[in-house]
């Protein structure tokens, strides 16, 4: 179908809404009628040629076979499709026999809809078409809508027809019908200020994805294969893939069977996809409706090929209860096995933050890859993502774990950066991820990054956010660059602007890094001061509302019945005050605030601190001495002040008071955590764990006291903590001769980058986590030299001259004359 015929058809269908529905539906609801009617009319045109044969079969089964229920198989055989209609009506006959009696017309239409096979009835139910038909009949527009859809001026049939003027209206192929569906969806979404093209991936992007997936194995393509899309929308990715294989790789002297599978969360879009599958002769039962993330619909299936454009930047919090129980992941699709820094394997979380679920769709596809011992080809995946999948999430996070799992298991084959504004619903940068669990030898252990962001052709008119497209030549260039798996340097124009395509090939571990905490010692001064003692009266998490209540009621808050006697009144007062001061209290915090125990504990802390302050008066610049002096006095004081508190709970009061009376002081002494003395075997075990010599122990926070095998460790100050990212490739050797993890990258990085600047810092090796991220900007950034001063000065002078000429023209005088005066 050519562009002009396509545009004419879209315009005609689009006009139906304004001509017939304007006074019945608000503009945003036009789609509720137009989309299902397009589907219905298409199915109707396909069944028209075999209508008599189907009715004859119905008559035979009822009259001759005396069947109480119709047998599907003969009816499907007679219709020529996987669906049929057993009513006497077609849309044309409904219109041609209609009168002004809307109730009769409504009854006939309902009889027609009820005559469809069960699979079409499901589509009708998803569209809620029965309700729309009743509404149109009640509003006297049902006949008008029927007239439009059976008009001889449009052709929704798969055959060439003549219009009333004798002009040929070209046949609407199944592929053309798919274009009509998705163009209407795009226009309706755009008109409603929704995500324009939410279900629509540009056809040139799908073509590029299919080339990247299938071209490398064109000679090994099996005769029977499966294709899956976990976010299939209206089915464009699936059917275009099928068309691509049939067209590009026809099987010689054999029949190739392609089975399409998909799932879609929107009932309306699912209905379009399923009807499209019916129209094109595919099995509609392989298309499921519902959330892919909530339910593992195809849990028993593994697929040869998977292509998808899942939603990105979309929350999956609604599905979270099906995937996680609290912090524990309960869906095996999103649990993976990784090793920690020392090589210990464990099952870890592979779920991203709840605000963006795109990587969950990728893991859904990964979980359905065929093992190479089952299928020699394994499985190949092409999935579209935005930039967050490349780098969002720190080491140890769900996002990073997903990237790490895919890369360390050598499944990530390539990533292609696409131009901005290539999609209808977003102008942001997008990427095609290519996964393969059976890489050829020359690609094993490697990942190719292709930057095609500058490879595009501008559109004359924007389509939503889409203002550019790939040409066939661009697709060939990108595909060839991928197949060659080689580095390509980007070209520069005469003015040093980058242009064209760029490619780089990396080793898997080039994207990995160790995230390790670099600690610094806590240095604290301490003294019992009134301004430090007073805040002990209030719980840290409830300080503001407690200060307010204490200021209002004073010591009354310590009375046993103060809150319980007037719970509702106090609760209402507190809630009102909190709301006025932008403070949110959950049920647990509210109960704690209204608890007499909370207030009594605060009072005891103040009394305890004041009692200790009577004999410990000086300021300490050594927190270790301060703690020792407080501890020496605490037993006697606590026996008096904390007499009603059990001995085993008094330690918490001691810790709270001691910590509250200190503050960070860079000139104070270091706070000692403990002094440890190792037996030789334990010291050897520590050295093996840290991967260092005894002389290096201070770099890991163990400082020799001078006594053999005795070391001091210090408390770390969390405010001074730094997290360093150390590339996995900082040094190449990672395993020592004994097979233990060697920390040479981290230690050498510390010696090179940290110790020269912060002498007293140390490595917290136990905090080490492994992460992976991919940065296209870092790998493909090309510095553009600044222009010379002469060039800039010349441009300024030229601009000034142009400005002077314009001013003269505006004033209507000669510039020379003005300058002379």
pLDDT in tens, 331-355: 999 999 999 999 999 999 999 999 9
Radius of gyration for the chain, computed over Cα atoms and rounded to the nearest angstrom: 37
- Strands (DSSP E) along 698-781, which ranges? 703-704, 710-714, 722-727, 762-772
| Least confident among 119-123, 329-333, 791-795 | 791-795
Residue 456's alpha-carbon distances to 467, 512, 771, in angstroms, are 10, 32, 34
Residue 207's alpha-carbon distances to 203, 248, 323, 454, in angstroms, are 6, 11, 33, 18
Instruction: Break the chain into its structural domains and give their ranges.
Output: 3-172, 203-314+354-509, 524-662, 672-778, 786-820
Q: State the pLDDT confidence band at 85, using cuts at 50, 70 and 90.
A: very high
Nearest residue to 384 via CA among 247, 220, 202, 605: 202
Give CA torsion, residues 622, 623, 625, 629, to 10 deg: 140
- pLDDT, tens digit (0-9, with 9 covering 90-100), for 255-285: 889 999 999 998 888 988 888 888 777 889 9
Share of the chain above pLDDT 70, in %: 92
Higher pLDDT, 497 or 633: 633
Q: Burial, 808: exposed, middle or buried (Cβ in 10 Å; 0-12, 13-18, 19+)? A: middle
CA distance 610 to 604: 10
pLDDT at 196: 39
What stretch of H or E contains 677?
strand 672-677
> Which residues lie closer than 8 Å to 497 by C-beta, 6 or more apart?
784
pLDDT over threshold 50, residue 642: yes
Higher pLDDT, 287 or 740: 287
pLDDT at 172: 83
- Tell me how many degrees the CA angle 101-102-104 measures, rounded to the nearest 5: 70
- The tokens 């976990």 sit on which residue? 230
Q: What is the mean pLDDT of the chain?
A: 88
pLDDT over threshold 50, residue 739: no
> Which residues lie closer than 8 Å to 67 by C-beta, 6 or more apart?
61
pLDDT over threshold 70, residue 677: yes
Residue 670's alpha-carbon distances to 701, 736, 745, 766, in angstroms, are 13, 35, 28, 22
**Token code pair at residue 399:** 């996002």
- pLDDT, tens digit (0-9, with 9 covering 90-100), for 312-323: 888 999 999 999
**Token code pair at residue 209:** 């994805």
- What CATH number matches the domain at 203-314+354-509, 3.40.50.300, 3.40.640.10, 3.40.50.150, 2.60.120.10? 3.40.50.150
Interval 670-680 mean pLDDT: 95
- pLDDT, tens digit (0-9, with 9 covering 90-100), for 700-733: 999 999 999 999 999 999 999 999 999 999 876 4
Higher pLDDT, 410 or 595: 410
Indicate the pTM of the whole model. Answer: 0.84
pLDDT over threshold 90, residue 200: no
Interval 760-769 mean pLDDT: 95
Interval 289-293 mean pLDDT: 94
pLDDT over threshold 70, residue 807: no
> Which residues lie closer than 8 Å to 114 by C-beta, 6 or more apart?
87, 121
CA distance 675 to 447: 48
pLDDT at 496: 64
Interval 54-65 mean pLDDT: 91
Q: State the pLDDT confidence band at 407, using cuts at 50, 70 and 90.
A: very high
Q: Is beta strand 457-463 parallel, antiparallel or unpaired with respect to 328-329?
A: unpaired
């Amino acid at each position: 179908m050519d562009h002009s015929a396509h545009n004419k058809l879209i315009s005609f269908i689009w006009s139906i809404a304004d001509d017939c529905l304007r006074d019945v539906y608000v503009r945003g609801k036009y789609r509720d009628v137009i989309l299902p009617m397009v589907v219905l009319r298409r199915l109707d045109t396909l069944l028209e040629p075999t209508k008599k044969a189907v009715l004859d079969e119905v008559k035979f089964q009822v009259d001759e076979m005396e069947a109480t229920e119709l047998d599907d198989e003969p009816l499907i055989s007679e219709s020529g499709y996987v669906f049929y209609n057993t009513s006497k009506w077609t849309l044309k006959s409904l219109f041609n026999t209609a009168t002004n009696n809307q109730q009769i017309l409504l009854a006939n239409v309902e009889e027609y809809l009820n005559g469809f096979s069960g699979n079409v009835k499901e589509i009708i139910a998803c569209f809620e078409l029965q309700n729309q038909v009743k509404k149109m009949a009640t509003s006297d527009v049902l006949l008008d809508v029927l007239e439009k859809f059976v008009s001889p001026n449009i052709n929704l049939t798969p055959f060439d027809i003549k219009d009333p003027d004798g002009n040929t209206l070209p046949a609407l192929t199944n592929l053309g019908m798919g274009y009509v569906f998705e163009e209407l969806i795009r226009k309706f979404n755009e008109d409603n200020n929704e995500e324009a093209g939410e279900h629509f991936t540009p056809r040139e992007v799908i073509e590029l994805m299919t080339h990247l997936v299938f071209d490398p194995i064109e000679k090994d393509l099996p005769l029977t294969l499966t294709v899956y899309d976990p976010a299939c929308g209206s089915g464009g990715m699936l059917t275009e893939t099928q068309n691509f294989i049939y067209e590009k790789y026809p099987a010689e002297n054999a029949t190739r069977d392609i089975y399409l599978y998909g799932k879609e969360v929107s009932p309306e879009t699912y209905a379009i996809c399923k009807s499209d599958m019916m129209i094109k002769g595919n099995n509609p039962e392989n298309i499921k409706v519902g959330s892919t993330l909530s339910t593992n619909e195809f849990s028993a299936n593994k697929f040869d090929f998977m292509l998808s454009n899942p939603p990105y930047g979309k929350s999956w919090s609604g599905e979270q209860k099906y995937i996680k129980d609290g912090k524990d992941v309960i869906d095996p699709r999103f649990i993976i096995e990784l090793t920690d820094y020392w090589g210990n394997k464990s099952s870890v979380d592979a779920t991203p933050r709840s605000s963006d679920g795109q990587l969950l769709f990728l893991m859904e596809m990964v979980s359905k890859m065929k093992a190479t011992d089952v299928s020699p080809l394994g499985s190949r995946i092409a999935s579209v993502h935005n930039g967050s999948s490349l780098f969002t999430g720190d080491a140890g996070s769900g996002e990073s774990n997903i990237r790490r799992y895919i890369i360390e298991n050598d499944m990530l084959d390539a990533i292609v950066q696409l131009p901005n504004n290539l999609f209808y619903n977003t102008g942001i940068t997008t990427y095609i991820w290519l996964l393969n669990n059976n890489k050829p030898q020359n690609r094993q252990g490697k990942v190719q990054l292709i930057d095609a962001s500058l490879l595009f052709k501008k559109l004359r008119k924007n389509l939503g956010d889409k203002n550019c497209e790939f040409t066939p030549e661009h697709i060939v260039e990108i595909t060839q660059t991928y197949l060659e798996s080689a580095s390509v340097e980007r070209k520069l124009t005469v003015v040093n602007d980058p242009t064209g395509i760029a490619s780089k090939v990396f080793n898997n571990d080039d994207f990995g890094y160790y995230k390790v905490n670099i600690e610094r010692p806590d240095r604290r001064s301490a003294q019992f001061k009134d301004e430090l003692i007073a805040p002990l009266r209030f719980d840290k998490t409830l300080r503001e509302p407690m200060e307010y209540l204490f200021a209002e009621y004073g010591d009354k808050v310590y009375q046993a019945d103060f809150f319980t006697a007037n719970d509702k009144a106090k609760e209402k007062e507190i809630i009102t005050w909190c709301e006025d001061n932008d403070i949110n209290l959950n049920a647990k915090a509210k109960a704690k605030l209204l608890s007499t125990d909370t207030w009594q504990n605060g009072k005891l802390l103040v009394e305890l601190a004041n009692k200790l302050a009577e004999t410990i008066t000086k300021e300490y610049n050594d927190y270790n001495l301060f703690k020792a002096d407080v501890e020496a006095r605490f037993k006697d004081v606590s026996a008096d002040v904390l007499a009603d508190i059990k001995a085993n709970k008094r330690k918490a009061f001691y810790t709270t008071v001691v910590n509250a009376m200190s503050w960070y002081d860079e000139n104070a002494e270091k706070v000692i955590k403990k002094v440890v003395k190792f037996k030789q075997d334990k010291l050897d075990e520590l050295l093996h764990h840290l991967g260092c010599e005894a002389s290096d122990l201070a770099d890991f926070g163990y400082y020799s006291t001078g006594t053999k095998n005795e070391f001091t460790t210090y408390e770390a100050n969390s405010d001074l903590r730094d997290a360093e990212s150390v590339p996995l490739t900082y040094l190449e050797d990672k395993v020592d001769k004994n097979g233990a993890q060697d920390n040479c990258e981290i230690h050498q990085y510390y010696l090179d980058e940290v110790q020269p600047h912060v002498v007293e810092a140390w490595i917290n090796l136990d905090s080490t986590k492994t992460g992976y991220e991919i940065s296209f900007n870092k790998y493909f950034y090309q510095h553009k030299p600044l222009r010379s001063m002469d060039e800039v000065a010349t441009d300024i002078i030229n601009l000034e001259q142009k400005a002077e000429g314009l001013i003269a023209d505006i004033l209507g005088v000669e510039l020379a004359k003005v300058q002379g005066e």
